[in-house]
Structure 1
Amino acid sequence: MATLVDAWRTLYTITLPNLAKLKSSAQTHWPVQADHCFARIILDSVIGRGEEYTETSSSVTSTENRIATPWTERLKSPAIKNMTEAELSRCVTLGEAIAGGKANLVELDERSLAARGKAFKTSKGHGKRKGDAKIDDTAALSQPSSSEPKPKLRRRDQPDIRAAFGAPPKPSASSVPSASIDSDLRDLIETSEITAFRKRVLLALCQVPKGQVSTYLALSEYLNSAPRAVGNALRNNPFAPRVPCHRIVAANKTIGGFNGSWGVKGEYFNNKVTLLKEEGVRVNEKDGRIGNTVWTGFE
């Protein structure tokens, strides 16, 4: 099972996104590039069709081969923790078929979108779907609206931000139990006017214990989402510091972002360092390196 889990994660987070960026000849067109979109397409194709799925039917075009429902209506999120070994094996098989050109990604994407009631918009035959980068289809939840403030980040001031969001997670401090959330804080979050996705992110964030740090990647894997979607959700935290967004750092164990700024050159770097050190987290004030083990004990 562990081997299948590793194979699945590698396929949708590394192999397929890289093939898409390189415009591999395995597919005549790559309609998506983001890892969560590949996961959405494959999970919908396998889980969304239930017992009707076969390894060969994924490449056949017919009305009978449509996806009946999004995978989230058949399986509790996160999928990687709730799939059976057989379902996980089918996901790996389909991912490998896409990578090898044996399954048509465009057709699979169209079926996935149709199951979610979304139109597939193209230009000149095979264009990129409008707004695709803004949709976290894997989580199947709302994302922050375009009217929300944009991050005050400059690319030249954050050369490691991509690696920091997607670097491999460090071992978990699994012996430390998750923190409990006060009922009044839970009610405050759940009844607020923020999006459903941000509510899930903030509620999950409350599990990170005082004196521990987790990462955008670890939190996104728990929510079956994407690190950048989690980063966007945390950028405007109306309940800080009770909802401790300062306990989320970059996957490469640097300070990460805080209040819309990033890294040691960020405007609020010292604020985040102070909050973490007051809770007993080891932080190098010069380079923002975190000395603690990454906590990933989300439940």
Structure 2
Amino acid sequence: MESLRMQWNDLYRKKLPTMAKARDPAQPKWPVFLDHCFARIVLDNAVGNEKPWTEVVKPPAVKNMSEEQLTNAIALAEKVANGEANLIDLDERSLELRGKTSKIGTKRKAAPERKPDVKPEPKTKKRKADETISKYFMPSPERTKKCTSPTTDDDVKPKSKAVSDLSSTAGKALPDMNVQLHRIASSTTLTPFRKQTLTMLCQVPPGRYSTYQAMSDYITATSHKTCARAIGNAMRNNPFAPEVPCHRILAADGSLGGFGGSWGEDGKHASKKHAILYEEGVRFDSKGKVKGPPFREFHA
């Protein structure tokens, strides 16, 4: 069993992510790049079968899978690496099992995506309904005592100009992200954490969206522990909006989130955020929830 566990860890933690980052021709397209995404896809298909793997095996999977389940997971991962199994099809089926696509007539409640071999973080207190993760382009309010990062306001644009600029960019040529990355890296007033979050924004492509939680998950897994609130605080005063697209970041539940100092569908500038997202190709359903899974393919 120990040999099987080592083989499984090597496949999903090292081999598949390395192949994905190198755009290995074994797959025509690599829809994911992170180890826990590969674990989700393989385990849902090889162990979960007709349900998410977390409903079949208690996390962490590597310690609780049976010999047969480990063997099946390794076999499928090898097929992906050898090009014998289509990763895109497997990913779509995994998302379908979790109720994250429109292929299921009645969506079931999506199971949270968990890293199979990492102990879950302790639960944090829920925010009150009227609290916002981030009030874009507004002067920073009183800092929260926990889960915040220091920010500086030396190069912050006034709210009215930033909101106006963002609304007026719909339908125009896309900014050169290499230029934006240089602006971020060259800033003398941004903290390293703020530079990291703004750099991640440049990776979210037009027509896609991500969430504060997705960004914090990536930083926690690859750099240091953080949370959605800290991400929001770091993005609160985005000096490079709208070229650095913080408008593509939504609330974790798929709702619109904050914009221009207000929150949610009833916010003063909600229609402007909807307009720019619609122009880029992001769609919401009749209940105000965004369609499709969030972008999580962040990379260093």
TM-score under structure 1 length normalisation: 0.44
